[in-house]
Structure 1
Amino acid sequence: MLTAKNLFQEIIDNDESFQLFCSIAASGEAQGGWENGRIAALVAPGLRDLAPKISRHGADEDKHGRIFHALMRKRGLEPVPVPPETDYTMLLEQRGIGLAHDKLRREEPLSEQDIVVYLSHSRVTEQRAADQMELLVKYFGDHPELGRAIHMIDNDEVNHLAYCHEELLRLNRQGHGRLIQRVLRECALAEIQVYRDVSLAVMSHMGRILRWPKAKAAVLAAGIHAVYAYERAAGWHKMVDLRMPERRDALGGPATPAPAF
């Protein structure tokens, strides 16, 4: 039976597909670490209290990248170039989602509106990350090779999502509500399209590596399109609602180290 668990098991059992999977994940995490580091350095003067939390977010992302590199090293594998069509963060930027890298490379302070855009973008993408890690924990939380790493990253993603909810609610109370809702909606609708396109591209590469028959590839592609259709119709609403999280001040301390990796 073709299930998410069986599909991922097939990917991690093969060195070449596992190498590509970890390389894509590590690249995205490293990019997120850089972005958060630059935003922390340039954060709007009126929101300087956010800088340590943004830095913590970036440190977590860097840590996740190191974890994926370590998982490859354990198998004697080296990172491989990430195909452009699978680069989630780059494709989001090309769609105008989040803060442009050109802006982050300058030494000009960001505005409060920029921080609203950053947090709204993060709220959407962290929802995706948290959902994916929840699924991996469900299926592979006790895996001897991946289990510890998955649990560690999952805990961080829950913290990141809680932080986004809490800070956006605070900014909403300060009068940014209309901007927050507009940016959240724009980000969510663009993200589900990018996620669909990246998913199709990743599955195409995995199918080539694992020599999937055309029928199997077609079923997987149809499943990805079905998920997109659901998210386009209703599922995107999950990415834009705001509620006070159970974990308060989730990024209020230093990043949790990962000594095992």
Structure 2
Amino acid sequence: MLTAKGLFQEIIDNDESFRLFCSIAASGESQGGWENARIAALVAPGMAELTPKIVRHGADEDKHGRIFRALLRKRGLEPVPVPPDTDYTMLLERRGIGLTHDKLRRDERLTEEDVIVYLAHSRVTEQRAADQMDMLVAYFGDHPELGRAIRMIDDDEANHLAYCHEELLRLARAGHGRLIQRTLRESALVEIRVHRDVSLAVMGHMGRVLGWSRPKAAVLAAGIHAVYAYERAAGWHRMVGLRTPERLDALGGPAVPAPAY
């Protein structure tokens, strides 16, 4: 019987599939670090109080990229180029979600609406990241090779999600509720499609590396489509709700260092 834990165990146990998994993860985290650094540098003048938190968010993402690259080094592996069809961040951008890299490369101040769009987009994508890391911790939190790294990343992702909830609620109270609600819904509906497409692409690449049979690949693809069908019908709602988080001011201090990485 195929299980998520068994699938990830198979990927982790093979050097080439592990190499691809960590390379994709490191690339995505590094892109997130760059994006947050640029947003912090260009943040709207009236929202300068957010700058230290955005800087902290970017520093965390950079740290996660270093952690995944360090996991590769521990096995004596080098990163591989990320297949374009697995590039979650860029696929979201191409579908109009978040702030474009072209905008972030300009030395022009962002507007308040830009910052709200960034936060709403982050609330959706951080939900996905937090859910995925929670799953990995549940399965591999005690793993001798991965456990410490994924627990550290999981804690950071929980902080990022709490930060997005808290800041969006504050901005909603300040009169931006309709923009926030509209952006959250648009972002969530696009994100679940991109997540489906990226998941199919990743499983396709993994299947070729690991030599999966056609029936096994078909079962995995059917499972991905089933998750998408559920999320399209109702599951996306979990990505758009806002509530006061248990962790208040979650990004209010400096980034927690990871000296081992």
Structure 1 segments of 4 or more deviating over 4 A? none
- For 2:242 and 2:118, the matched residues in 1 are separated by 15
TM-score by length of 1: 1.00
Counterpart position of 2:34: 34
Q: Matched residue of 1:199: which SS?
A: helix
Counterpart position of 1:243: 243
Over residues 117-156 of structure 1, what are the superposed CA-to-partner deviations in whole Å (9 max), with x where a residue is unaligned? 0000000000000000000000000000000000000000
Counterpart position of 1:90: 90
Q: Matched residue of 1:97: which SS?
A: coil
- The aligned amino acid for 1:236 is W
Counterpart position of 1:219: 219
Counterpart position of 1:164: 164
- For 1:139 and 1:162, the matched residues in 2 are separated by 23
- For 1:192 and 1:86, the matched residues in 2 are separated by 14
Shift of 1:259: 1.1
Counterpart position of 2:228: 228
- For 2:12 and 2:80, the matched residues in 1 are separated by 15
Counterpart position of 1:14: 14
- For 2:115 and 2:93, the matched residues in 1 are separated by 16
- The aligned amino acid for 1:150 is I
RMSD, aligned CA: 0.3
Q: Report how many aligned residue pairs link the two structures.
A: 261
Over residues 45-101 of structure 1, what are the superposed CA-to-partner deviations in whole Å (9 max), with x where a residue is unaligned? 000000000000000000000000000000000000000000000100000100011
- For 1:100 and 1:131, the matched residues in 2 are separated by 25
Q: Percentage identity across aligned positions?
A: 82
- For 1:260 and 1:152, the matched residues in 2 are separated by 12
Shift of 1:167: 0.1
- For 2:45 and 2:27, the matched residues in 1 are separated by 30
TM-score by length of 2: 1.00
Over residues 190-227 of structure 1, what are the superposed CA-to-partner deviations in whole Å (9 max), with x where a residue is unaligned? 00000000000000000000000000000000000000
Counterpart position of 1:48: 48
- For 2:137 and 2:119, the matched residues in 1 are separated by 26
